[in-house]
Every structure is written in C-alpha cells, then in structure tokens.
Chain A
C-alpha cells in the first residue's frame, strides 16, 4: 500500500496520488478491511489536509464501513456494488442466486430432495412395467394395469415437479444422487401375482411417504442447520397429503382381496379376482 499507483476512482472524483488516500479507495473496492485502519489515520491527520478531496475521501471511508457490514453477510447487493465499480468484462456476483436459508449450503435437505426426485423417477418406470405386465394377454387384468399406470403417471409428474422445485430453491439436479436412507437396492421382479403386486405397490408407496417424512424431519429441526420451512411446507402440501390417500386405498384393496381369498374355502378366488379387476377398471 506504500506505492499506490495512479488511477482514477469515480467515487473520489479526481486522480489520486496520495498513497494513503489511494489505499482507502482501493480498500473499499477490494477487500474492505484496510479501510478501517486508513479511515482512522485520516481522521487523525485530517486537520493537516486542506485538499478538496479529503472530505470526499472521508465520506468514502464511511461508506466503506457501511459496506463492510454487508460484506460479512455476502449479499447480492454487495456483490453488485463491488463488481460494478471495477472495469472488467465480467460480473461474478456469486451471491446473486436463489439460495436462502441453509438449502444447498448446510445439512442434507438439498441432497435428499435430489434423491427424492430420483426415487420417483425409478419407481415411476417400475410402475410402468407393472402396468405393462397386467396388460399382457395372459394376465389380462386391465383394472390392475390402470392402477399401476396411474401410479406411474403420478410419480412421473412428481419427478418433474421435484426437479423444478430444487431449481426454484437455487439448487441443481443430480441424477446420480441417492438418499442416505437408501440401503441396498431392491432387486425385485415386476412379474407378480395380483395380491403380491398390490402388496409391492403398498410397500413402495410407504417408502415414498416415509422418505417425505424423513426429509420433512430434516427440514423442521428447529435451531438446527437444516431448518427449512419452505421445503417442509412444500412436502406437506404436494406430497404428504396425497400419500395418505394412496396408501389407504392400496391397503383397502389388499384387505378386500384377503377376504375373497380366505372365505368360502378359496372357491371364490378366480371370480373374485375377475370382479375386483372390473371394479378397478371402473374406479381407478
């Protein structure tokens, strides 16, 4: 700072060759911290300076101090103030983004949201295969097929909604992300019998619902680094409400099928499955 180069600072209004004054202007522009010291020096020495510039320098130093409080908060406004004062062809503005709270910064809520989108995508295509299986000429259960198609369509739409929401919060989508909740990948077959397939769907929907609970729990720990009211509210409104209905419906279906299987020594089974499929065709 001893040999301040000659340069023109718009906020000083004139060319400055005083090394101290220079350091004040530079300090404001580049890192703010030296400004405090320079400012104090100038206060002490100010009676000795009769230059017109000195009042402007003091005003600048005060504005530097004001800006200093903003530096620690890393605001977009501060980025703009800093970068626009420099003559360069690029603007960094690293704090001008949609990230607020702890999303994408601390905790695993952002990661879990990515994993949640991936979970929906994978389950959606599994449901699609189940829908296909129940639509082949041998199984020929169009009601079951319709049920799985609906589940597939819903989870697919949610995949896109989740991706949009992650980006709404300033995050980006990572298609390889897996949840910390995820243990070994299930290696299950799609080709299941009627009751088995409903049981499988029920388990899958519970997995999806409980994952939402987990993310919600991470997002609602008060005074914790992961607290995020917006994500919690979003999950409640767009996911958690619907999950209860879907799970209840599937559980109801398994109860019905269970009755048909057990009663009348199982003689009703083939007609019961046929009728139940017809029922699904009309109601799903």
Chain B
C-alpha cells in the first residue's frame, strides 16, 4: 500500500514542482493573456471538430480505396481533405499557443473517436456528404466568431471582443471554407450531370479526372 501511494505522491508532485530531473516552473506576468474563457472554449471545441472531420474524411478515403469500389481519385481527394482538416486543427492550436493558451488541460483537447459513417452508395453521395460536413464546419466557425466577438462572460482584463481572432477566423478560415465548399459543390454538379444517363461510366471518368488522367 505504501509504495503505490508514494509513486502517486511523486507523480502529483512532479506535475507541479521540480524533481532532480527538471527545472522549477516559473511565473511570468499573465496580463498579456487576454482571451476570454468563452472564446477559448469555443476554439477548443472547434479543434475537436476539425479532428473529427479529418477522421471522417479518412473513412471516406478508406471506403473509396476498397477493391469493390475502386475509385482512387475519390480516395485521393478525401485523404487530402483529411490532411487539410488536421492542418486546420494544427493552425487553431498554433493560434491558441500564440495567445498564451494551452499551458494546461492539453490532454482533454482532442479525443480520437471512430467516424460516424463508413459507407457511401456512390461518389456523388460522398461529395454531397462532404459538402454537408463542410457546411457544418463553416457554421461552427461562425459560432466561434460570434462567441469571441461578443463574450459577455469576459472577465476584467479579458477581451469581450477578440478582434484579432475574429479577423483571423473570418479572413483565413472562412475564406478557405467558402472556397472548399464551392469546389465540392462544383464537383458534385459536374458529376451529377455526367451521371444523368451514363452513371457507371460517368463516375469512372470523373474518378480518373480527379487523378489527373485524361481518358
């Protein structure tokens, strides 16, 4: 009984105090850290959402890679989208770090869960599903903007209107979302037209087009 409790005690201590293996944590002024709690928590939730989207795109890539589906162009598109979503999560993390956040509660920031959906009946359906997912992400970014633009719960010394983050999200993230949505919607339209009378051939040709092969 004594040894485990000693280990636990040491483990608790090591988190806050110096052991022989690390230097004492130091305190530097914190007045410059001005993000409000409501805004910060919204960004944290957004990071989780981007991670979930990246995993959902992985599932789409996996589906279209199957031998029975055999759409490498679609698979490629979705694997790339998955990487992009992960990069969005990384950009938001980077932003929080710049603003003096993420000094604690790191472990709960990201939970890796299995994707909700695993199969799609066609490339067309997957493109439309991806478009729907992007629309939800865009909506969520707008919610973060609203939460950061007017946070009534902001304490003294905190930003009730986080101009810079709002500008960053509006200028960089929303721009990328709108461009991405337009691209998906365009692809979905073209494919749908090609599928109209020649569904099997249409999807086949579109898939090769996505790979950069002209046939």
Contact residues of A with B, CB < 8 Å?
A: 97-99, 121-122, 125, 128-129, 132-133, 135-139, 156, 159-160, 163-164, 166-168, 170, 172-173, 175-176, 188-191, 193-196, 257, 261, 266, 269-270, 273
- Indicate if the CB atoms of B97 and A167 lie closer than 8 Å: no
- Indicate if the CB atoms of B107 and A189 lie closer than 8 Å: yes
Task: Report Cα–Cα, A198/B25, bound state, in Å.
Answer: 18
Q: Give min CB distance, A16 to chain B, whole Å.
A: 35
Q: A125-B110, A175-B118 are in contact. List 8 more A-B contacts (CB 8 A).
A: A128-B93, A129-B106, A135-B94, A136-B97, A167-B67, A176-B114, A193-B14, A193-B19
- Indicate if the CB atoms of B65 and A137 lie closer than 8 Å: no
Taking residues whose C-beta sits less than 8 angstroms from the other chain, chain B's interface range is: 35 or more
> Main secondary structure on chain B at its contact with chain A?
loop
- Indicate if the CB atoms of A138 and B106 lie closer than 8 Å: no
Contacts of A191 in B (CB 8 A): 15, 104, 106-107
Q: Give min CB distance, B36 to chain A, whole Å.
A: 18
**A190 touches which one: B14, B19, B106 (CB < 8 A)?**
B106
- Indicate if the CB atoms of A122 and B106 lie closer than 8 Å: no
- Indicate if the CB atoms of B20 and A266 lie closer than 8 Å: yes
Contacts of A138 in B (CB 8 A): 25-26, 28, 103
Indicate whether A190 sits within 8 Å of B97 (C-beta atoms), given known contacts A133-B102, A173-B59, A196-B21. no
Instruction: Determine if B109 is an interface residue (Cβ-Cβ < 8 Å).
Output: yes
Indicate whether A160 sits within 8 Å of B61 (C-beta atoms), given known contacts A125-B110, A195-B21. yes
Instruction: Determine if B165 is an interface residue (Cβ-Cβ < 8 Å).
Output: no
Between A and B, 25 residue pairs with Cβ closer than 8 Å are A97-B67, A121-B112, A129-B107, A129-B109, A136-B97, A136-B101, A137-B100, A156-B86, A160-B58, A164-B65, A164-B75, A164-B79, A170-B67, A172-B63, A175-B115, A189-B106, A190-B106, A191-B15, A191-B104, A191-B106, A193-B14, A194-B22, A257-B21, A269-B23, A273-B22
Indicate whether A173 sits within 8 Å of B62 (C-beta atoms), given known contacts A125-B51, A137-B103, A266-B20. yes
Q: Give min CB distance, B186 to chain A, whole Å.
A: 25
Task: Report Cα–Cα, A99/B94, bound state, in Å.
Answer: 43
Task: Report Cα–Cα, A234/B59, bound state, in Å.
Answer: 22
- Indicate if the CB atoms of A261 and B21 lie closer than 8 Å: yes
Task: Report Cα–Cα, A196/B94, bound state, in Å.
Answer: 23
- Indicate if the CB atoms of A132 and B106 lie closer than 8 Å: yes
The 8 tightest CB contacts between A and B, nearest first, are: A167-B65, A173-B62, A193-B22, A98-B67, A175-B114, A190-B106, A176-B114, A270-B23
Contacts of B65 in A (CB 8 A): 163-164, 167-168
Instruction: Determine if B146 is an interface residue (Cβ-Cβ < 8 Å).
Output: no
Task: Report Cα–Cα, A136/B107, bound state, in Å.
Answer: 14
- Indicate if the CB atoms of B90 and A128 lie closer than 8 Å: yes
Q: Give min CB distance, A148 to chain B, whole Å.
A: 12
Task: Report Cα–Cα, A172/B89, bound state, in Å.
Answer: 27
Task: Report Cα–Cα, A173/B109, bound state, in Å.
Answer: 26
Instruction: Determine if B188 is an interface residue (Cβ-Cβ < 8 Å).
Output: no
Instruction: Determine if B66 is an interface residue (Cβ-Cβ < 8 Å).
Output: yes
- Indicate if the CB atoms of B61 and A163 lie closer than 8 Å: yes
**A193 touches which one: B21, B61, B67 (CB < 8 A)?**
B21
**A136 touches which one: B63, B67, B103, B110 (CB < 8 A)?**
B103
- Indicate if the CB atoms of B112 and A163 lie closer than 8 Å: no
Q: Give min CB distance, A179 to chain B, whole Å.
A: 15
Task: Report Cα–Cα, A257/B102, bound state, in Å.
Answer: 25
CB neighbors of A among B81-104 (8 A): 82-83, 86, 89-90, 93-94, 97, 100-104
Task: Report Cα–Cα, A42/B142, bound state, in Å.
Answer: 79
Interface-centre pick from B21, B68, B109 (highest chain A CB count, 10 A): B21
Q: Give min CB distance, A54 to chain B, whole Å.
A: 42
**B20 touches which one: A137, A163, A261 (CB < 8 A)?**
A261
Task: Report Cα–Cα, A172/B62, bound state, in Å.
Answer: 7
Contacts of B21 in A (CB 8 A): 193-196, 257, 261, 269
Task: Report Cα–Cα, A193/B13, bound state, in Å.
Answer: 12
Task: Report Cα–Cα, A203/B40, bound state, in Å.
Answer: 32
CB neighbors of A among B145-160 (8 A): none
